[in-house]
C-alpha cells in the first residue's frame, strides 16, 4: 500500500507546476502565483492531489474559471487544483430532461447546448463566465433564474470522509448567491459534477425590466431569451472578452443588500429623484439594487482612481486597468463600501472570493493587508 501511495505521489509531482501565475487564469487579471498548481482531469486526479496536499498539510483551493476571484499580489500558498473534468449526458423522463455535466465544463457552452435543444431552465444564465462546478457554490443567478431552481443533485469529493458523495438540492442549502459550500462547509467538498432537471419544452421566464424591454416574453423561445440575455450582458461588458477592457472584472463586485422593509423605505425617502429599485422578499425584507446605492454614494459609472475604477457600462463592476494590482482593487472596493455605509447606513458585501489573504473585514481583506 505504501509503495502504491508513493507511486501515486510521484505521478502527481510530475504534473505539478511550481509558482504558476494566476492572474492570466482569472477574469480580473491581477494577483500573484500559486505555490503549487495541478490540472485535474478526472475524479481520481482530484482525490490523489488532495492526498498529496494533505500529507504535506497544505491548504487546497479549487480554480473553476477564475471569474469570481481576487488573488492577492503576494500569491496563494498551498495547492491550487484547476478543475478540467469534462463530459455531459442527457436522459429524458416524461416532460423533463436530466442533464449531467462534469465540473470542468464551460458554463456558457453547457447553456448554449441545452438551449439549442430547446430545453428550458438555464437560458437566463447565458453569458456567465466560469465552469459548471462553480455554479452551485454561490447559487449563480441572473434575470429571474438561478441554478437552485434546476439543480437536482451534485457529486462531490468529500475531503473529510475521503469519498465521493451525492448531495441533493435540499442538502445544498441554497440561498441568495450562496450555499453550504460557501458557508458552513467552505472548503470541505470539491464538486465533480452537477445534474440539472430542465423542461423538455416550455416558455422562458423573465422578470427583469431591461430584459423584458428587449423581448416579447409571452411569445419568446428559449433561444430568443438567450440571445436577448447575451445582448444585454454584452452591452454592459458582462460577457468576458479579452479584447473588451471593460470586461476585465469579477462581474458584479457587490451583492444586492437585503434589509428590513422599513429600512428600504427610509432609504428611498432620502432621494428626491429616481427612487431606489426595491424588490420585496418574504419575511418583511427587501432587496435593494447595490448599483443604485453605489452611484448615489458618489461613484458614477466610469469613476476611476488610478489603475482601477467602475465600468462605464455597469456600476457594479470594478475594472482593473493596465498594471492594476489586487491591492488597488481591494482599496477601491473598501472606499465604495465605506461611502455607501456613510450615506445610507447599509453594508455592501462583496460577491467574489479572496485568495491569499488572512482574515476578512466586512467581507474584504483587512486594510493592513491592502497597504
CB 151 within 8 A of CB 198: no
For 355, phi then psi, to 5°, come to -110, 140
Q: Are 85 and 104 in contact (CB under 8 A)?
A: yes
351 a catalytic residue = yes
The Cα 287–Cα 270 span in angstroms is: 17
Cell digits of residue 117: 435543444
**Active-site position among 67, 72, 105, 177:** 177
Rounded to whole angstroms, the Cα distance separating 257 from 242 reads: 30
- Annotation says 177 is catalytic: yes
For residue 254, give Cα distances in angstroms to 84, 124, 150, 228, 288.
28, 20, 24, 24, 12
Residue 116 CB coordination number (10 Å): 11
d(Cα 335, Cα 352) in Å, to the nearest integer?
Answer: 17
105, 123, 351, 369: the active-site residue: 351
Cβ contact 107:138 at 8 Å: no
Catalytic residue, chosen from 126, 179, 252, 315, is 252
CB 134 within 8 A of CB 116: no
Catalytic residues: 177, 252, 351
Amino acid at each position: 500500500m505504501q509503495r502504491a501511495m508513493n507511486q501515486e505521489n510521484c505521478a502527481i509531482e510530475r504534473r505539478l507546476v511550481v509558482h504558476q501565475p494566476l492572474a492570466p487564469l482569472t477574469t480580473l487579471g491581477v494577483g500573484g502565483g500559486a505555490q503549487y498548481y495541478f490540472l485535474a482531469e478526472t475524479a481520481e486526479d482530484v482525490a490523489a492531489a488532495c492526498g498529496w496536499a494533505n500529507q504535506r498539510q497544505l491548504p487546497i483551493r479549487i480554480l473553476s474559471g477564475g471569474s469570481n476571484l481576487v488573488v492577492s499580489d503576494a500569491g496563494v500558498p498551498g495547492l491550487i487544483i484547476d478543475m478540467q473534468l469534462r463530459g455531459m449526458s442527457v436522459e429524458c423522463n416524461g416532460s423533463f430532461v436530466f442533464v449531467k455535466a462534469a465540473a470542468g465544463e464551460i458554463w456558457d457552452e453547457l447553456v448554449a447546448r441545452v438551449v439549442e435543444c430547446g430545453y428550458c431552465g438555464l437560458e437566463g444564465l447565458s453569458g456567465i463566465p466560469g465552469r459548471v462546478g462553480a455554479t452551485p457554490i454561490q447559487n449563480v443567478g441572473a434575470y429571474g433564474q438561478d441554478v437552485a431552481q434546476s439543480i437536482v443533485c451534485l457529486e462531490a469529493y468529500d475531503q473529510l470522509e475521503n469519498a465521493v458523495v451525492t448531495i441533493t438540492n435540499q442538502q445544498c442549502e441554497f440561498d441568495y448567491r450562496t450555499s453550504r459550500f460557501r458557508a458552513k462547509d467552505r472548503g470541505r467538498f470539491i464538486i465533480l459534477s452537477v445534474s440539472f432537471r430542465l423542461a423538455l419544452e416550455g416558455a422562458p421566464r423573465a422578470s427583469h425590466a431591461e430584459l423584458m424591454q428587449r423581448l416579447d416574453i409571452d411569445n419568446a423561445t428559449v433561444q430568443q431569451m438567450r440571445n436577448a440575455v447575451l445582448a444585454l450582458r454584452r452591452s454592459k461588458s458582462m460577457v468576458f472578452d479579452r479584447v473588451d477592457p471593460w470586461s476585465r472584472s469579477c462581474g458584479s463586485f457587490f451583492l444586492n443588500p437585503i434589509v428590513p422593509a422599513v429600512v428600504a423605505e427610509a432609504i428611498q425617502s432620502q432621494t428626491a429623484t429616481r427612487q431606489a429599485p426595491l424588490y420585496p422578499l418574504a419575511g418583511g425584507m427587501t432587496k435593494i439594487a447595490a448599483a443604485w446605492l453605489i452611484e448615489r454614494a458618489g461613484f458614477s459609472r466610469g469613476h476611476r482612481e488610478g489603475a482601477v475604477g467602475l465600468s462605464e457600462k455597469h456600476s457594479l463592476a470594478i475594472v482593473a486597468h493596465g498594471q492594476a494590482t489586487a491591492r488597488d482593487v481591494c482599496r477601491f472596493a473598501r472606499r465604495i463600501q465605506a461611502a455607501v455605509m456613510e450615506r445610507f447606513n447599509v453594508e455592501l458585501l462583496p460577491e467574489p472570493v479572496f485568495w491569499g489573504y488572512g482574515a476578512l473585514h466586512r467581507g474584504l481583506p483587512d486594510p493592513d493587508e491592502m497597504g
